[in-house]
Amino acid sequence: MLSGYIEEPNVKPNSLSSEQDPSCQCVPKAAETSPLPNVTSTLDPSPTFSTYRQLRATIPSTIKIRPVPKFNDEITDVMSYGLLRTASIDSNQPARLQPGRWLTNSLVDLHAYEVANTFFEGNPHRAGDLCLLPTVTWYHAAENTNDRPDFGRLDPKVSPLEYKFVAFPANGTGCHFFLGIIAFASDLLVRCNPSGPVRTSIFVFDSLGTSYETSNLQGKMNQFVLRLALDEKLRLAELKAIVAIRVKVPKQPNTTDCGLYPGHFLSIFLSDPEAYTAHCKGETIMNGTVDEIWQAGSIETTRRVLLSLVNMATRYRLAATRFNSNVSPSSHVE
């Protein structure tokens, strides 16, 4: 488990082109600038780091216990690096993890936060590669254009598009969850990439596959990206040319399990983000069926994993209370 406050490694978000401004904080090290190969090959979908399921033998420091509930019988706040908005779990929500029940936004966030935290802690050198956004972001930035977008980030003035990957679980219709990922997002920022090639892709991982009509989805995705930019200038012509890709993923077997899939798909994607980006774009072919590539067999255990995590927090109340989401994970773990 990580101890107390965590030192911040000297890592800056990635950009991706040889023509980018070297003074921009988005520019990566030279070794990180090579583009994905535009070739067809075979890849084994084997994780390159442990998943959150394997790492959480004890309660993580990113979970803060509330011995005295703040409101609504709240029992725990789940935090994630870079985020102010927590996933607040009250005493009524563990029941929603029973089979046949719909998950809440907070439980979907809990799942995604844990996946992202495990990625950061297992890959401290990639602290600037991933920006995770809470579930409500999609509604405020894409569904309701009258709202002032609140991304729940620690620094509200920094565009999420400064990162290499932007991931967001979303509640698309008020009753169905899906996962969105913007790959190579910083390529769209003029400050980071004034004239180089734009390799940005937008992926939609939907366990039903029919949340939106294609035209409706495309318009909302463009609106979403525009609002994520904040006051930054975008490569607008290139953005308009990007077509959101519906990734072929396992389908849910019922009408209640959609909330389990965003965090699951994110955990698989983050096991090798560049390889899965190439797979989702069709530049490479991974070995195995769709269910094998996306490890569909482990989805059925997700409810038990999340329930165990919440119960552990409730029962033992021993999480580190000094967790600070303003810093990145150090390279050493106690």
Residues 64-116: pLDDT tens digits?
544 444 444 666 777 888 888 888 888 788 889 999 999 999 999 999 998 99
Domain contains 234: yes
Name residue 147's beta-bridge partners.
none
Give the pLDDT band (50/70/90) at residue 36. Answer: very low
Domain contains 308: yes
Full domain range(s) for residue 42: 36-316
Domain contains 29: no
Between 144 and 102, name the one with better pLDDT.
102
CATH of the domain at 284: 3.40.395.10
Which pair of structure tokens corresponds to residue 76?
């725990």
CA distance 161 to 280: 20
- Count of domains observed in the chain: 1
Domain contains 331: no
Domain contains 334: no
Domain contains 17: no
Q: Give backbone dihedrals phi and psi of 267, rounded to 5 degrees, phi first.
A: -65, -40
Dihedral of CA atoms 72, 73, 75, 79 in degrees, nearest 10, equals: 10
Rg (the chain; Cα; Å)? 19
